[in-house]
């Protein structure tokens, strides 16, 4: 197996072509539903940013090129939390047709609005954690990134596989999916040139942050790979893809396709 085979296997996984964002744009969900969707997605994205011990663990294994490349990805993620909060609050305001989030630069206030929406719409589902407002599927996808604290060789290779899959999905499914439902759908009258949409503009396309991350993740893996560790890399990629596909399934079922958005449309 080669690195290019792993890349192809990520693109063949059902997570890569998951219709959750098409269903978002087709379902035209309520502002509250948008808030609940953002709460789960926002927290998941948050968990993917810290590198924890991965860059130094790579250095310690003598894989300094890989360590440098992963460190550059981590550094480019700085400030993305506040920018995502601004975009989420802006979309909720547009969706509601009134100002729900008054101060889009107040990250904590936007976060608490998102959680309120989530509590209201998902709070009765089994396994919902009232404290964080997270579903088990969200927590499971987030927990994969705790693995970056481990510094043993096996964990490091698994983490390289997770990083590769994360960056391919971010660049080719998640960010284009968000652009599709937030901008192209016309649901929110939003454009990439609005300052509130800076997060999406910075991440989207071949000159965006995710294209750079994907390239760095591939190069990090190419520089570090030993044939004997390919299985671990594939495992790390699959753990991520399976958990994110389960998260997209949940959001789709509970909030979009067969959930409140469709039901609301039916009563209208
Ligand atoms: Fe980011
Ligand atoms: Fe990324």
The structural domains of the chain, with segments of one domain joined by +, span: 3-262
- Of residues 13 and 258, the one with the higher pLDDT is 13
- Can you tell me the distance from the alpha carbon of 11 to that of 22, in angstroms, rounded to the nearest whole number? 18
Q: Are 107 and 82 in contact (CB under 8 A)?
A: yes
| Distance between Cα 50 and ligand 1 center (Å) | 11
| Distance between Cα 33 and ligand 2 center (Å) | 25
Look at residue 258 in the predicted model and tell me its pLDDT: 57
- Can you tell me the distance from the alpha carbon of 117 to that of 113, in angstroms, rounded to the nearest whole number? 6
Whether residue 260 has pLDDT greater than 90? no
Mean pLDDT of the chain: 95
Letter string b/e over residues 93-121, b meaning 16 or more CB atoms within 10 A of that residue's CB: bbbeeeebbeebebbeebbebbbbbbbeb
12: Cβ–Cβ under 8 A, 6 or more apart, which residues? none
| Distance between Cα 175 and ligand 1 center (Å) | 10
| Distance between Cα 262 and ligand 2 center (Å) | 31
pLDDT (tens digit, 9 = 90+) per residue, 14-49? 999 999 999 999 999 999 999 999 999 999 999 999
Whether residue 173 has pLDDT greater than 60? yes
Domain 3-262 has CATH 1.20.910.10: yes
Whether residue 263 has pLDDT greater than 70? no
214: Cβ–Cβ under 8 A, 6 or more apart, which residues? 167, 168, 170, 171, 172
Whether residue 268 has pLDDT greater than 50? no
* Percent of the chain predicted with pLDDT > 70: 96
Nearest ligand for residue 167 CA: 2
Range 181-203 average pLDDT: 98
Angle at 18 between CA 15 and CA 24, to 5 degrees: 140
Nearest ligand for residue 198 CA: 1
Ion ligand 1 neighbours, Cβ < 5 Å: 77, 80
Look at residue 266 in the predicted model and tell me its pLDDT: 52
């Amino acid at each position: 197996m080669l690195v290019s085979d792993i890349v192809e296997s990520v693109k063949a996984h059902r997570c890569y072509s998951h219709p959750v964002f098409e269903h978002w744009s087709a379902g035209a969900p309520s502002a509250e539903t948008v808030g609940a969707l953002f709460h789960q997605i926002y927290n998941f994205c948050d968990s993917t940013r810290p590198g924890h011990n991965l860059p130094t663990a790579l250095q310690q294994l003598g894989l300094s090129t890989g360590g440098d490349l992963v460190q550059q990805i981590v550094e480019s993620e700085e400030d993305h939390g506040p920018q995502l909060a601004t975009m989420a609050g802006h979309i909720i305001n547009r969706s509601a047709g009134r100002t729900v989030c008054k101060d889009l630069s107040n990250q904590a206030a936007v976060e608490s609005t998102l959680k309120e929406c989530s509590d209201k719409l998902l709070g009765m589902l089994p396994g919902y954690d009232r404290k964080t407002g997270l579903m088990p599927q969200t927590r499971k996808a987030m927990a994969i990134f705790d693995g970056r604290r481990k510094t043993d060789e096996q964990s490091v290779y698994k983490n390289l596989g997770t990083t590769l899959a994360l960056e391919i999905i971010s660049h080719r499914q998640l960010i284009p999916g968000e652009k599709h439902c937030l901008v192209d759908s016309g649901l929110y009258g939003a454009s990439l040139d609005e300052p509130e949409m800076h997060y999406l503009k910075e991440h989207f396309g071949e000159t965006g942050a995710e294209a750079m991350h994907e390239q760095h993740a591939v190069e990090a893996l190419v520089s570090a790979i030993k044939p004997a560790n390919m299985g671990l890399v594939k495992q790390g990629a699959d753990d991520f893809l399976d958990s994110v596909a389960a998260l997209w399934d949940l959001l789709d079922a509970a909030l979009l396709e067969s959930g409140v958005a469709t039901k609301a449309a039916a009563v209208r």
